Structure 1
Amino acid sequence: MIKNTTIEVVPGKLTLIVGPSGSGKSTLLSMLSGLLRPDQGEVRALGVNLWAQNENALDRFRLEHCGFVFQGFNLFNALTAHENVALPLQYLGVSSTEAHQRAKKALQEVGLEPRSHLRPAELSGGEKQRVAIARALVKNPEMIFADEPTSALDKVNGEIVIELLKRITRDHGATVLGVTHDPRLLSHADRVIELEDGEVVRDTATTAPNHPSKDNPHATS
């Protein structure tokens, strides 16, 4: 349960939520990303009160403005990496030609374009997560939410993934908010929010430099 908590998440910074198991990390992430309705309070993003919207409007908001990276990759095994990345663009009504080009560019950005013809079963865990990041990135979202993005990866691949998220924050000016148990990631963050029993007990900005960002609103819960 999240309680007595108000936070503002700003663009152009990689923000990580940490805390012991059961502290409410994933619950808070789900509330801020429009996946879980809070019992009270509100969440505002891009000037929209998310939980004042009906389900169709909320689905559309997530589709148009949010990218998601999950612990379990959530890739379709029957599709190639390229097809997995291009898939969200179909729901946005993007032409097949443009979807192909954007998927290719997103896979190039995560260093996987040469392996874009492979299916998930033919990729390593680190490569699958990079495909998932490309899929989130292909929509050019203002906000990216990452739930334990490195927990299934070894040290080397975990470093690659967190560096990708940090670079996306810098180069795209996106708001990137992640949940992690991995202490190795904290040095990469611009900001670390620590939860205990559903409340923020520490909110620390690191010494990482600020980067230019889009005019992107915050989320408050």
Structure 2
Amino acid sequence: MKRKIALIGTLTAIAVFSAACGLVDEGTASDESSSVIASNQSEAVESTAGSDSQSSAEADTSISSIHLADPYFAIFASRQYVAQYHYQEFTGNQLEDRSMTVAVDCTDKAIRISGEGTDTTHLTLDGQAYVVDHLNRTIARNESANLAEETEDDGIIEAPPFRDIGSTYVGSWEEDGLVYEEYYAANGDRMFYYFEGDVLKRIRSASGENEFNLDVVDMSETVAPEYFILPEDYELLP
């Protein structure tokens, strides 16, 4: 978690953790209530919960059946998609709505966060990082962004715990009329994917005492080129 907090300055961390401390907890999952986990999954839970090492988590990568999250893991892994999210964030003492669009096209990505008093795109384009302020109509080059580090440690939204990095399926439960699947990642994070039928509705991540909730508005495997264009009529800041 210390590493992820340190990544707040990078583009990916902005997408996931820019409001992590202020996001509203939409309900903490209970491992003791509404459990519908199958008996053959209990061994995976005990094995994962009892291990404190990354190598132990990486060793247990087998997933015996198809799960609701699998098609979405494939979308994220393809690195060609557009996802739209909604979340809430405290600004001072006021709770405000935020919209976030994450567009990924191989190594290029655009993360636009908009809401009351803010409308900003963090853009990685052709190996360069930019911050586009749509309210002030300005473009600033983000010289401090470490693109190599981002590639090595992408945020949860862009790289959920895949099988090949040691994710372990824990089980599925019901909460507030939704079915959610829990996964342990190799780094110790807990990921929760909430579904209405087979449609992904929410992503929740817990890492130590920090967690965030994102409501999924829409997700598409088609990337439109307009997400990756620097506005020509904006002022380019020195």
State the TM-score, normalized to the length of structure 2: 0.27
Which structure is higher in strand share?
2
Higher relative CO (Cα under 8 Å, sequence separation at least 6) belongs to: 1
Which structure is higher in helix share?
1
Bigger Rg, which one: 2
